[in-house]
A and B are shown apart, each in its own frame.
Chain A
């Protein structure tokens, strides 16, 4: 064994044996630790999902999905209004954010390129992506809720849109830059005008990447809670007045039923809602990652 480590410093056999033993032991310990770490990470993921599925599965039923939410004690509690509200808020946010962000991505990758302006904007996008989402909630509160004198679903949608814009802009720019310049030159040589070239050739060839970027951004904001606390707030009613009144939504419903209520029945509603929102987010994620994956080059 000692032959493994012929060290010039220690020549006695006992001294050459020990370091190797310690090194092996250390290696073994780290290997064990890393397997435990991996098991912890995967185990926690399974544990969280398992809890959500088992506890949420108990309450999930057709009635639960079609009844509106009610205060404690009223029978027939459900989450339909919150589900509809979340849908309206997320879709409105996407409608606001996607055109702006796509145009911004095109502008950065096709027009501004390496100019000073572009680099400054890239820095701003990085900063925006690092801003805690709750601050965006404060921002929209001052910008929209205070002047309008009312919490509203639209304010929530604005907050989510602001969260989405930098994410989509960044992926759009990255995806467009991956398109080879030969395609651009070929399109121009065929007589396309510049905007035809960009929309019909460059964007089309980067389509999968763009769609998956948008879907991932939507999935990311669909489960966001913090920015909705000061904007959309919550209501037990159906979202009839999207622009002028607080609008029900799933993330805030979960917060309301779990932290602000001591009753087991309300917690159950929370678990059901948690299952629904997790399913929605995971499904969008999986669709984005499998159906619209960029082909490996």
Chain B
């Protein structure tokens, strides 16, 4: 009996310690990035966040272009993906069962493709295509830049958002839908006024997932964004994101520049963390409302 009790407590303790691993990792990651970026914060202070200069020769760096690039690509991608995902999910839910299964499987496949493949496809197929398309409109561009990056990102986060929306729309009580139809709504009015309102909270959960994914995506963006450390003036100009800047410069960096890159990493981490906190508070609030 003693041995069994011993085994039980050991097993329990091992499991609980392992459960703590994620907490420890998260904490160390924050501390690590904060300490490694200390030099950058000391040198540039808060001005680092709003400075647009980036000059490795004179060792002057600013984070604003990368931050703006990250926010712009993420925002645009989210806008494109959301509008597409909502109508896609509507169609999939309404389609006959067999077709709906095939369609959702096809869209899920998009999520399985590695990000570096997206980047490669963007580099060799999408960017030349954009270049030619805009050339027909007599706009001179090489295709790389904000637009290409947003399109690729939108394609990458579409399956995640679509999957959440699909589940939410399936959960809507049939009675509500039938009532709307019976009152004389068209399909679109039913979707807009009934389904969207009824599932608004859960649908927002899908938005958070897409947001998190788009924010930190590195490879796909790196290939097509142009990697110019400037704030883009138009959709077709090259820019950069935090993740792409890291991937591009980290291997050759040392001293102050490395510290600056860690500072950028910390900013990205705080953005991702902020989204998680928002999502968490939000889910809590909705859970409370449902309980009441």
Contacts and interface: CB of A to CB of B under 8 A. Distances in A.
Contact of B117 (A110, A169, A223, A230): A223
A133 B268 CA distance: 11
A38 B87 CA distance: 8
A52 interface: yes
A282 interface: yes
Given A26-B188, A45-B107, A126-B280, A258 B120 contact: yes
Interface stretch (A62-70, A74-82, A87-95, A99-107): A99-107
Contacts of A24: 186
A277 interface: yes
B98 interface: no
Contacts of A142: 32, 36
B120 A41 contact: no
Interface of B: 4, 7-8, 11-12, 14-23, 25-26, 28-29, 32-33, 36, 83-84, 87-88, 90-92, 103, 106-107, 109-110, 112-118, 120-121, 123-125, 155, 158-159, 162, 184, 186-189, 191, 212, 215-219, 222-223, 243, 246-247, 250-251, 261-262, 265, 268-269, 272-273, 275-276, 279-280
A176 to B, nearest CB: 11
Interface stretch (A117-125, A177-185, A237-245): A117-125
A31 interface: yes
Contacts of B251: 229-230
A224 to B, nearest CB: 7
Given A48-B117, A194-B12, A254-B120, A37 B87 contact: yes
Given A23-B189, A48-B117, A127-B273, A255 B84 contact: no
A189 to B, nearest CB: 16
A265 interface: no
Q: Which of A48, A51, A138, A223 has the most CB of B within 10 A?
A: A138
A37 B250 contact: no
Interface string A107-148: 110111000011011011111101111111011011100000
A219 to B, nearest CB: 7
Interface in A29-85: 30-31, 33-35, 37-38, 40-42, 44-45, 47-49, 51-52
Contact of B110 (A44, A110, A124, A126): A44
30 contacts: A24-B186, A26-B188, A27-B187, A30-B191, A35-B91, A37-B88, A38-B87, A45-B109, A48-B121, A49-B113, A51-B121, A52-B117, A112-B16, A125-B22, A126-B280, A130-B212, A132-B272, A143-B28, A193-B4, A193-B7, A195-B11, A219-B112, A223-B117, A225-B114, A225-B218, A226-B219, A230-B251, A251-B219, A254-B117, A259-B123
A281 interface: yes
A35 B92 CA distance: 10
A130 B272 contact: yes
B213 to A, nearest CB: 9
Contacts of A223: 113-117
Contacts of A135: 29, 33, 216, 265, 268-269, 272
Contact of A193 (B8, B14, B109, B113): B8
Contacts of A254: 116-117, 120
A270 interface: yes
Contacts of B20: 104, 117, 121
A71 B187 CA distance: 59
B22 A226 contact: no
B216 A45 contact: no
Contacts of A226: 115, 218-219, 243, 247
A285 interface: yes
Nearest to B162: A41
B269 to A, nearest CB: 6
A274 interface: yes
B70 to A, nearest CB: 10
A42 B106 contact: yes
B15 A106 contact: yes
Nearest to B5: A193
Nearest to A216: B112
B250 A138 contact: yes
Given A27-B186, A35-B91, A134-B216, 18 more contacts: A33-B87, A41-B84, A51-B121, A51-B125, A99-B18, A112-B16, A117-B16, A121-B23, A131-B26, A132-B218, A132-B268, A135-B29, A135-B268, A193-B8, A229-B247, A258-B223, A259-B222, A277-B117
A30 B87 contact: yes
